[in-house]
Amino acid sequence: MIKSMTGYGQAQGDINGVSYAVEIKSVNNRYLKTTVKLPEILSFLEDDIEKLLRENLSRGTINYTLRVKDISGNSFFEIDEKVLQSIAKKLSNAASNAGIEGTFDISNLLELPGIVRPVSPNNEELDLTRKKVIEISLLAMEQLRKMRITEGKFLEADLRKQCELIQNDLKKINVRSSVVIQEYSKKLKQRVEMLLAEAKLHLDEETLAREVAIYADRSDISEEIARLDSHVQQFKQFCSSNEQAGRRLDFISQEMLREANTIGSKSSDNEITGYVVDIKCWVERIKEQVQNAE
């Protein structure tokens, strides 16, 4: 079963009047790349989140965001009143000495370094927060997983459709390839007989047969057809497997394109060339779609 690398999951929960909201987004990537965004006060959770993401996902660009809102009215931050008073006093004295009259904007003072700082929770609060955030993250991860599975079903259906189109063209090529040799032999014999008739010479059937045999050997594409068909069969099997087959499917699709190119280069028949062009289009479509498979 193919899983798409595109997905989205979110979940939220409350604890002690604090609301935690987790959002996980994923898009395609050849490897696993994670970006974790946490509030500064919860930065101690970064390693736990990284571990959770890597245990549950193998490919894709993953963006994890945790947002926190204090719904109880208690602040996550505290104001150092002593420092604030000291600064206000110094500013007041400086203004008085300079003969400046006016008032201070408290909001501007709060922006100064060291005035507002995060509250440091105790160990019990840290453990409780860690458990709650991991719990919420797992819920969001489950939503992400379900969406990736749903997207993967559509992806698998499209890939199988391309495989069927390739196999249909392969059958036509296989039938046509057996006719091409006969047509070449007939055309070669007619041309040689025409040239020899002008020179009043007799056609050497053995030489003609040898020439046809050389052409048949040089343009034989039966092995390439068999290998390409085998690659398509393997591709369909891995589409149904439970393992994460994105990289393997990518490799097989490259092999499929290589065999198609070989068939096109070895055959000089226009009809077969047309089928090869179609096959290469289907394979390119597969290669594009596989980039989003986990």
CA 120 to chain centre: 40
CA angle 30, 31, 37 (to 5 degrees): 120
Establish if 203 belongs to a structural domain. yes
Establish if 145 belongs to a structural domain. no
Establish if 163 belongs to a structural domain. yes
**Separation between Cα atoms, residue 285 and residue 16, nearest integer Å:** 52
- Indicate the residue among 59, 85, 110 that finishes a domain: 110
Establish if 252 belongs to a structural domain. yes
Give the pLDDT confidence score for residue 201 in this predicted structure: 45
- The angle, 0 to 180 degrees and rounded to 10, between the axes of the packed helices 123-199 and 222-240 is 160
Establish if 101 belongs to a structural domain. yes
Whether residue 235 has pLDDT greater than 70: yes
Establish if 37 belongs to a structural domain. no
Which tens digits make up the pLDDT trace of 99-142? 777 676 766 665 666 665 666 666 777 788 889 999 999 999 99
Establish if 215 belongs to a structural domain. yes
Count: domains in the chain: 2
Which tens digits make up the pLDDT trace of 6-35? 999 999 998 877 889 999 999 988 889 999
* 158 and 277 fall within a common domain: yes
Whether residue 230 has pLDDT greater than 90: yes
* 90 and 163 fall within a common domain: no
Q: How confident is the model at residue 77 (pLDDT cuts 50, 70, 90)?
A: low
Which tens digits make up the pLDDT trace of 192-218? 555 445 555 455 566 555 655 555 545
Give the pLDDT confidence score for residue 177 in this predicted structure: 78
* 88 and 190 fall within a common domain: no
Q: Which domain holds residue 105?
A: 77-110
* 98 and 221 fall within a common domain: no
* 105 and 221 fall within a common domain: no
Give the pLDDT confidence score for residue 239 in this predicted structure: 86
The SS3 of residue 102 is: coil
* 170 and 101 fall within a common domain: no
Establish if 122 belongs to a structural domain. no
* 238 and 158 fall within a common domain: yes
* 81 and 203 fall within a common domain: no
| CA-wise closest residue to 177 among 110, 275, 44, 92 | 275
